[in-house]
Chains A and B, each alone.
Chain A
Amino acid sequence: MDDFIYFFTFQDPSVAWVVIGITLLGIGSAYVGTFSFLDKKALLGDAISHAVLPGICMGFILAGEKNPIYIVTGAFLSGAFATFLSSWLKKNTKLSEDSIIATILSVFFGVGIVMLTALQKSGNPEIAGLNSFIFGNAIGISESDLLIYGGLSLTIILVLTLLLKEFRLMVFDPSFGKAIGFPIESIRFLFNVLMILAVVIGIQAIGVVLMAALLITPGAAARFWTDRLNPLLILAALFSVISGILGTYISFVLPQMPTGPWVVVFLSLIALISFLISPKSGIIFRFLSRKKYLRKTHRDHLLKALYKALEEGRKSMTIEEIYELYPYQKKEINQSIIDLQKSKYIVQSQNSISLQEPGVSEAMRIVRLHRLWELYLNESLKIAPDHVHESAEQMEHLLTPELEALLEKRLNFPSLDPHQETIPREKNDLR
């Protein structure tokens, strides 16, 4: 607990520095990552983040120490080379995009490993710091590093915010952008530059292997909460900052723990929770709304059956008769009977069920929609009368009052459906 207070009150200036750094870095990569997620190029970020390893080693060899400027430049150059190579291969060979990305990722990483092992055997004492690039170590970032990384993050955030319109165009409709005269190719080039930069500064805290998560996961999680770009970006940034700070806290308390994996675990937790509980597109919500819809269809079917009996002049039906109409659906029918009794659409006395006043007009509405749709299919789409029932069975639950009015008008208020049955309306009712 003391650790907790010590960390989150930022008494220690170095903790404050690291948190500021992680925040900037998280915002930057979440911004870039969300765009690449929307552009369906999420895995290119993974390829780039593996591909910067040779550059880091090269920078280290040239500088002879862990100099952030050399390392960032080296990493940037090898990331840029990987990006160029992947688009060149895509244009000029028959390989599919995922093979290209997987190839680039593993080859660059392999080259990086060769250089890293060669460096390790060279006996340079500074080499220990280089290993932290593989899994990330936010706590180990020094203040001078932070100025460079923070500054680059700020640049990324600034450029993305200023050119929001252009990047939005690039992601959502590049051909339209081209048509109205935007230099989409240059915008894409600039975006790639920003993405490589985001990766280069991110690996310091997250590490080469897991950097992809910092790019992909915030955007994917935020996508479940909103359909608009600006809230999406803000939410993604928020998610990544929260997990970044939590991850840093863990590796502050347990110094042997690398930061990267914890940040990724927190991020993935946020994402999985979002997938589950988000309204509209979450798994739970979709499951419930499907269940609700199915219950409604069963209720509709029961009402329809009762109305058809009414048409034949019978005021009520026995439960067994209904079971026979919809075999294998006993449980659902019992549920519908309970539901409909609650809303006073039907009454059950002993074994027989009969429609009540509000139920009749509801049942009438469903049968009317069913028959209107059958007639529409038959008349306007020229589908044979014996083929229209199946579709009407589905559409009767979906047609809205507006569509109903439109159908009525289009078919000129018909009285008979293709099977020569009356289309029921309130004025010619059977009561």
Chain B
Amino acid sequence: MIFDSNAFLIIFTGALIAISCGFLGVFMMLRKMSMTGDAISHAVLPGIVIGYFVSGSQRSLEVIIGAGLLGILATLMIEGLRKKAKVQLDASIGITFTLLFAIGIILINLFAYKVDLDQECVLYGEIAYLPIDLWITKSGLNLGPRVTWLAILNFLFVVGFIYLLFKELILTSFDEGFSSVMGIPAKGINLALMSMVSYTTVSSFESVGAILVVALLVVPPATAFLWSKSLMPLLRLTAALGILIAVLGYYLAYWLDSSIAGMMVTVAGGFFLISALIKGKKPSWLKGTTKVESPLGI
């Protein structure tokens, strides 16, 4: 068990990403759109590849723009398939993300000579290389790891987004009809949230991988949801879980010598399972025989 600056950087970055994802995930979950989040995180792949191809660098603005556009495209495509072609929601999600992800993989293979993107890296990233990937300015000033800066920026964006649009997000999540009556553009808010999700996916995919972003979007909010009954505790608990997951995930991965991001998800899954076992309905033999449920709830 060691704690040095590298460990701190990795845990710090992992926690920031987990908290950003968790905050967005809470609202996705409340809108019953967790699977849409999953779809978006798959669907940004072609945008990343094209942005990379155009700019020749993995860390350029084009990549973020491309991924953002693809994320919005995926949202629109799901909506379009559902409304215009009248495909049921689960199928339109399934068709959209598999198609876009497949195109992304094909593009990676097509541009393999120029785009140094690894399929596996896109899937599960590598946060362990973070301390050696430094952001050095032209004058040679070392500003520390690039990915950490990205995570901080992303975190600030997400927190700012939620802080500014808190009322709108709550209203549109809980009562879309009422919010439209109040004059809040529910569709616009929705698209903004989806854009934030795609942006978060892009800025984290290098470190945790496109698919494991999904886990951070979904699992901590779902775990916290089992324990809380109102929004603020839900958000707080999600953030706490994010930090806990990053710390435990790092040390377990260090101990077992495996993927840190994967281990973070595994830890998150462990928390989820324990919470579900504690908070889920108990089988009747655990309750004993004295407690008889009154019929008709009287």
Contacts and interface: CB of A to CB of B under 8 A. Distances in A.
Contacts of A212: 94, 97-98
A9 interface: no
B91 A220 contact: yes
B91 A42 contact: yes
B11 interface: no
Interface in B57-89: 81, 84-88
B12 to A, nearest CB: 20
A283 B84 contact: yes
A89 B219 CA distance: 13
B226 A114 contact: no
B259 A268 contact: no
B218 A264 contact: no
Contact of A117 (B99, B259, B268): B259
Interface in A61-111: 88-89, 91-96, 98-103, 105-111
A124 B221 CA distance: 38
A43 B89 CA distance: 10
B218 A99 contact: yes
A26 interface: no
Given A40-B90, A110-B212, A213-B99, A99 B34 contact: yes
A275 B82 CA distance: 11
Contact of B86 (A37, A262, A281): A281
Given A96-B32, A134-B123, A213-B94, A268 B226 contact: no
B226 A261 contact: no
A380 interface: no
A261 B218 contact: no
A106 B94 contact: no
A42 B92 CA distance: 10
Nearest to A266: B102
B211 interface: yes
Q: Is the interface of A mostly helix, strand, loop or mixed?
A: helix
Classify chain B: how many residues form its interface, as a range.
35 or more
Interface in A207-255: 209-210, 212-213, 215-217, 219-220, 224, 254
Contacts of A116: 259, 262
Given A37-B91, A102-B37, A114-B266, A107 B219 contact: yes
B135 interface: no
B270 to A, nearest CB: 9
The winner among A96, A98, A210, A271 for most chain B CB atoms within 10 A is A98
A98 B90 CA distance: 9
A110 B281 contact: no
B257 A121 contact: yes
Interface in A357-390: none
The winner among B92, B109, B261 for most chain A CB atoms within 10 A is B109
Contacts of A264: 98-99, 101-102
Contact of A110 (B86, B93, B112, B265): B265
Interface in A116-172: 116-118, 121, 131, 134-135
B272 A42 contact: no
Interface string B102-117: 1101100100100000
A110 B269 contact: yes
A101 B279 CA distance: 18
The winner among B105, B217, B226, B264 for most chain A CB atoms within 10 A is B105
A182 B18 CA distance: 47
B265 A107 contact: yes
A41 interface: yes
B214 A92 contact: no
The winner among A108, A215, A220, A261 for most chain B CB atoms within 10 A is A261
A213 B99 CA distance: 8
Contacts of B102: 210, 213, 260-262, 264-265, 268
Contacts of A91: 281
26 contacts: A37-B91, A102-B217, A107-B266, A110-B263, A110-B266, A113-B209, A116-B262, A121-B258, A131-B120, A209-B101, A210-B101, A212-B94, A212-B97, A212-B98, A213-B94, A216-B98, A217-B91, A217-B94, A220-B94, A261-B105, A264-B101, A265-B103, A265-B106, A271-B95, A281-B86, A283-B84
Interface pairs A-B: 4 shortest CB-CB: A110-B265, A107-B269, A106-B215, A213-B98
